[in-house]
């Protein structure tokens, strides 16, 4: 299997975490989004020109959460039993899927407003952060961080008793918590949960995709 990825991408980080947790044998293709050659190569496997992308024996899959689920299901099939990251019970899976969709649709997109304004915009356009956009990002993030914080009250992980794909999907954009000064300090349950995520070998190994190669 081949994974087109890069350490700066929080969407790719989700998949990197699964690769690290399941100890999968993947060839890492590092894509520098600022390089025209890399963009051309990426465009050949994803018409959206975005990472991550997985190639498995001619089967090409893009969208981080779809790749996460595929890798977990394929591993379960090969090993003859599901991994606790993505159990077989359909209601547990539906619950995990719910948080994965929520991560992409709401939580990540609110954080993306702030990472764009506070980190990427200067590099890409040379323009300073727009305070109105920052305020919009903070307001959106507050809405979703409070949902997450409320759900995590009295819980260790998002779904059931084990860490699952749901935790990986939601946690990934928080990799920019410090660099983008994400305003999450007032959410104690979220912070305690994220501290547990940061202790996971999958989180630590996935920071550098090259370090995941077996
Ligand atoms: N919904 C996609 C989003 C992928 C995405 O936006 N990736 C970013 C990096 S975090 C990217 O490749 N951006 C390049 C671009 O938009 O030109 C997923 O979850 O995989």
CATH for 35: 3.40.30.10
Q: Does residue 16 contact residue 212 with C-beta atoms inside 8 Å? A: yes
Q: Does residue 41 contact residue 31 with C-beta atoms inside 8 Å? A: yes
- Rounded to two decimals, the pTM is 0.97
Confidence of residue 127 (pLDDT cuts 50, 70, 90): very high
Query: Do 103 and 180 sit in the same domain of this protein?
Result: yes
Among 45, 51, 107, 168, the mutation site with the greatest number of ligand 1 atoms within 8 A of its Cβ is 51
CA distance 69 to 80: 16
Among 8, 10, 11, the mutation site with the greatest number of ligand 1 atoms within 8 A of its Cβ is 11
Residues above pLDDT 70, as percent of the chain = 100
Distances (CA, A) of 169 to 6, 103, 122, 127, 184: 16, 6, 27, 30, 17
Confidence of residue 214 (pLDDT cuts 50, 70, 90): low
Confidence of residue 76 (pLDDT cuts 50, 70, 90): very high
Averaged confidence pLDDT in the chain = 97
Q: Does residue 9 contact residue 194 with C-beta atoms inside 8 Å? A: no
Q: What is the sign, positive or negative, of the torsion defined by CA atoms of 110, 100, 44, 33?
A: positive
Confidence of residue 12 (pLDDT cuts 50, 70, 90): very high
Query: Do 105 and 183 sit in the same domain of this protein?
Result: yes
Nearest atom in ligand 1 to the alpha carbon of residue 52 is 20
Nearest atom in ligand 1 to the alpha carbon of residue 12 is 10
Ligand 1: lining residues by beta carbon, under 6 Å: 9-11, 33, 49-52, 63-64, 104
Q: Does residue 184 contact residue 190 with C-beta atoms inside 8 Å? A: yes
pLDDT for residue 211: 72
pLDDT for residue 209: 79
Query: Do 109 and 72 sit in the same domain of this protein?
Result: no
pLDDT for residue 50: 98
pLDDT for residue 99: 98
Nearest atom in ligand 1 to the alpha carbon of residue 10 is 10
CATH number, residue 171: 1.20.1050.10
């Amino acid at each position: 299997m081949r994974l087109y990825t890069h350490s700066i991408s929080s969407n790719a980080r989700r998949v990197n975490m699964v690769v690290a947790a399941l100890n999968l044998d993947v060839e890492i293709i590092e894509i520098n989004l600022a390089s025209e050659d890399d963009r051309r190569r990426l465009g050949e496997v994803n018409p959206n020109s975005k990472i991550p992308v997985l190639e498995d024996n001619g089967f090409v899959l893009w969208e981080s959460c779809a790749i996460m689920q595929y890798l977990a299901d394929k591993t379960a099939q090969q090993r003859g039993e599901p991994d606790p990251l993505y159990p077989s019970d359909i209601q547990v899976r539906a619950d995990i899927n719910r948080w994965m969709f929520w991560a992409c649709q709401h939580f990540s997109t609110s954080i993306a407003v702030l990472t764009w304004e506070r980190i990427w915009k200067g590099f890409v356009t040379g323009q300073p952060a727009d305070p109105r956009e920052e305020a919009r990002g903070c307001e959106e993030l507050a809405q979703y961080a409070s949902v997450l914080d409320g759900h995590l009250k009295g819980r260790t992980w998002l779904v059931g008793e084990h860490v699952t794909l749901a935790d990986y999907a939601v946690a990934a954009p928080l990799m920019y918590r410090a660099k983008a000064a994400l305003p999450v300090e007032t959410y104690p349950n979220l912070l305690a949960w994220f501290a547990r995520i940061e202790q996971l070998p999958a989180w630590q190994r996935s920071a550098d995709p090259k370090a995941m190669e077996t």
